[in-house]
Amino acid sequence: MKILFISLGCDKNLVDSEVMLGLLTKNGYTLTDDETQADVIVINTCCFIHDAKEESINTILEMAQYKEQNLKALVVAGCLAERYKDEILKEIPEIDAVLGTTSYDSIVEAVNMALAENAGEHFEHYESIDYLPDNSEVERVVTTGNHMAYLKIAEGCDKRCSYCIIPKIRGHFRSVPMEELLNEAKRLAFEGVKELVLVAQETTLYGKDLTGEKQLPLLLHELCKIEGIEWIRLLYCYPEEITDELIKAIKTEEKVCNYIDMPIQHSENRILQRMGRRTSREDLVAVIKKLRQEIPDITIRTTLITGFPGESEEDHEGLMNFVEECKFDRLGVFTYSPEEDTLAATFEDQIDEEVKEARRDELMSLQQEISYEHTQQLVGKTIKVMVEGYLFEDDIYVGRSYMDAPKVDGCVFINSPEELMTGDFVYVKITQGREYDVIGEVDYEFTK
């Protein structure tokens, strides 16, 4: 039986998809990327914001059309299936099986039941949203290439920000046991993975639910001992949870990239309070200052939400000034999306979409200037780069430095007279800086 698997949404969701792929292939299913040849299509959905929900629904409807041709079973998993469990089968009867966010370890059973001729009824499986599947024996099918992989270290969130639906579909914060993570990392390294990207709804609280203490620094130290792993990257570090111990681990462990993704969402105290964030502008300035003092070459990435209910023009100007002051190395801006069943969606002072988009564009225009300044500072310098591929039409290689996380940051374009292999590390002398990317050539004085 051939299975087409579609994974939507974030990198945390992708890890769940890779676990499901591992379970399916272990049980004899083969994979295909051709929907016209698939016996089964599995869609791991997202519904974090309206656009993601719309993409998930449209994808399900598009794939459901193949029921009239080759498709024998359509399985829907993940956030949309969890959040709209009462509506999804009723509204889209072509679906044969649904799995909630914590039920992905039942994917084989779901597919088998969906294919059974005498199944009769739709298959549904929903564990408690606070259940944590044991993936210690599962060999994931890594879909990001053999050179890098995401390592999901925790599930769920306890922050309860007023705009966020995650706790209601992903449950309370719960850490994956460290031994399980280390075994998984060793398997990935054995398979050739050189970069681990640590992800969770919030990585900085790792271990606190297990031991009462934050154990992310300890986890980093243990991961650094694994042979074959050369880069370890941190995403989703909440600013109020960044400790001196974590900063020291980033600073002293050679394998840990001097890079941190620190979502702050806003800078103005009034808006931060309405968002339910547990920090202030003053706190943010302080942690950014400390990071740059302790690790001068650190790359700081953040995300912002613009157009939050009640955001005044004065708040927007304050945020603009904050971005200008902090000069983040990497920045993403999203317009606020009112999500049902969240507190912020009930606020009366919602902002017009045109205003949200104008403010987002203004912030990104400012960041574009800041980013261009940063890339210009790299011209003439030699940096270590992981090769990620080759662009035939441009006759140039593409890669990433420690300053660039996969999919969300810029790229390093590499001119090389010699063939480079994906996953290799080379040293590149930067010759040109663009708005977000840089271009260079292999520096053979450093590359052996």
Segment (H or E) for 274: helix 269-275
Dihedral sign for Cα atoms in the order 168, 171, 173, 178: negative
pLDDT < 70 positions in the chain: 117-120, 446-448
- Find the distance separating the first CA and the last CA of the chain, reported in whole Å: 46
User: Any bridge partners for residue 234, and if so which?
Assistant: 198, 260
Please state, rounded to an integer, the average pLDDT across all residues of the chain.
93
pLDDT of residue 443: 86
pLDDT of residue 135: 86
pLDDT of residue 51: 86
pLDDT of residue 119: 57
What's this model's pTM, rounded to 2 decimal places?
A: 0.93
Structure-token pair, residue 52? 């993601």
Q: Alpha helices, DSSP H only, in 97-233?
A: 107-115, 166-170, 178-190, 208-211, 216-223
Kindly report the CA angle at 259 between 197 and 437, in degrees rounded to 5?
A: 95
Q: Which residues contact 399 (CB under 8 A, 6 or more apart)?
A: 385, 386, 387, 388, 411, 412, 414, 426, 428
Give the residue carrying structure tokens 């997202």. 46
Measured CA to CA in angstroms, residue 236 lies from 200, 261, 355 at distances of 7, 5, 28
Between CA 323 and CA 42 the distance in angstroms is 41
Between CA 290 and CA 76 the distance in angstroms is 45
Residue 358: CA atoms inside 13 Å, Cβ hemisphere, count? 8
